[in-house]
C-alpha cells in the first residue's frame, strides 16, 4: 500500500454506517493514496451478472449530500427513506439492460414496494429550490433509471424504496439480455433503523 494511509477493514465489515462514512471521509485523500475496495454486505448472481448492496443510513446520506450543497432540511426526506448503495456488473459476453421501474422490494409480509425513481426526487429538489450543483451531484450519485451494460461494465449508485417494507426484505433486480428477461434476488436486506 502506498503512503501511510491504512484502512481498518474490520470497521467496514462491522457496520455499513461506519463504512460509508469512511468512504465519505476519503474525499480529502489525494489521488495517490490507494483507494480501498468496497466491501459489500449482500451479493447475488445470475449467470454472469452480479448485483451487490449495502444499506445506507440516514446519517451517512445526510452527511454526503450536505457536503454537496443540500441543506439538512432539503435532504431529510431522502436521507430517512429506506435506501441502498447498489453495484451491478456484467461479466458476460453480451449486453444487458436494466430499468428501475421493473425492480421491486418484497417485504417479509409479501407486500411489494417499488423503487422511487431519481426523477421523482429531482422534482422534489426543484420544488424545494435546491441548488443546481447539488442536484447534479444527486442525479449522478443515483443508480440510473435505465442502464445499458456492455460486457465488463460495472455501474454503482444509490436506490431508495417508495416506502420501508417489513424486514427482512428481498430486492428483486430485473435485467434483460438477448435471451429475454431475468431476475436476481438479493435476500435478507434490511433498512437501517435510523
Nearest approach in angstroms of CB 175 to other proteins is: 14
User: How crowded is residue 83: how many other Cβ atoms within 10 Å of its Cβ?
Assistant: 25
Q: With binding defined as CB under 8 A, does residue 153 bind other proteins?
A: yes
Number of chain residues interacting with other proteins (CB under 8 A): 37
Mask: binding to other proteins, 69-108, rule CB under 8 A, as x and -? Answer: --------------------x-------------------
Minimum CB distance to other proteins smaller for 101 or for 136:
136
**Site residues (CB under 8 A) for other proteins, limited to 44-63:** none
Q: What is the C-alpha to C-alpha distance for residues 143 and 88, in angstroms, rounded to an integer?
A: 10
Q: With binding defined as CB under 8 A, does residue 9 bind other proteins?
A: no
Minimum CB distance to other proteins smaller for 8 or for 35:
35
Q: Report cis status (omega within 30 of 0) of the bond before 14.
A: no
Q: With binding defined as CB under 8 A, does residue 11 bind other proteins?
A: no
- Please identify which residue in 47, 66, 68, 182 interacts with other proteins, judged by CB under 8 A: 68
Mask: binding to other proteins, 112-151, rule CB under 8 A, as x and -? Answer: --------------------xx--xx-xxx-xx-xxxxxx
Crossing angle of the two packed helices 72-79 and 58-66, in degrees rounded to 10? 140
Crossing angle of the two packed helices 118-128 and 132-141, in degrees rounded to 10? 170
- Which grid cell sits at 158? 444509490
Minimum CB distance to other proteins smaller for 47 or for 89:
89
Q: Which residues bind other proteins (CB under 8 A)?
A: 23-24, 26-32, 35, 37-38, 64, 67-68, 89, 132-133, 136-137, 139-141, 143-144, 146-157
Amino acid at each position: 500500500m502506498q503512503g501511510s494511509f491504512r484502512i481498518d477493514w474490520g470497521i467496514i465489515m462491522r457496520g455499513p454506517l461506519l463504512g460509508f462514512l469512511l468512504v465519505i471521509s476519503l474525499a480529502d485523500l489525494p489521488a495517490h493514496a490507494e483507494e480501498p475496495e468496497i466491501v459489500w454486505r449482500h451479493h447475488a448472481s445470475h449467470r454472469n451478472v452480479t448485483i451487490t448492496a449495502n444499506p445506507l443510513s440516514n446519517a451517512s446520506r445526510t452527511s454526503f449530500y450536505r457536503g454537496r450543497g443540500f441543506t439538512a432540511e432539503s435532504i431529510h426526506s431522502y436521507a430517512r427513506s429506506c435506501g441502498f448503495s447498489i453495484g451491478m456488473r456484467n461479466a458476460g459476453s453480451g449486453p444487458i439492460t436494466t430499468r428501475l421501474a421493473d425492480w421491486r422490494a418484497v417485504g417479509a409480509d409479501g407486500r411489494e414496494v417499488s423503487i422511487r425513481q431519481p426523477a421523482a426526487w429531482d422534482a422534489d429538489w426543484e420544488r424545494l429550490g435546491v441548488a443546481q450543483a447539488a442536484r447534479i451531484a444527486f442525479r449522478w450519485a443515483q443508480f440510473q433509471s435505465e442502464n445499458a451494460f456492455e460486457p465488463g461494465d460495472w455501474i454503482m449508485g444509490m436506490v431508495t424504496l417508495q416506502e420501508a417494507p417489513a424486514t427482512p426484505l428481498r430486492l428483486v433486480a430485473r435485467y434483460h439480455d438477448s435471451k429475454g428477461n431475468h431476475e436476481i434476488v438479493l435476500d435478507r436486506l434490511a433498512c437501517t433503523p435510523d
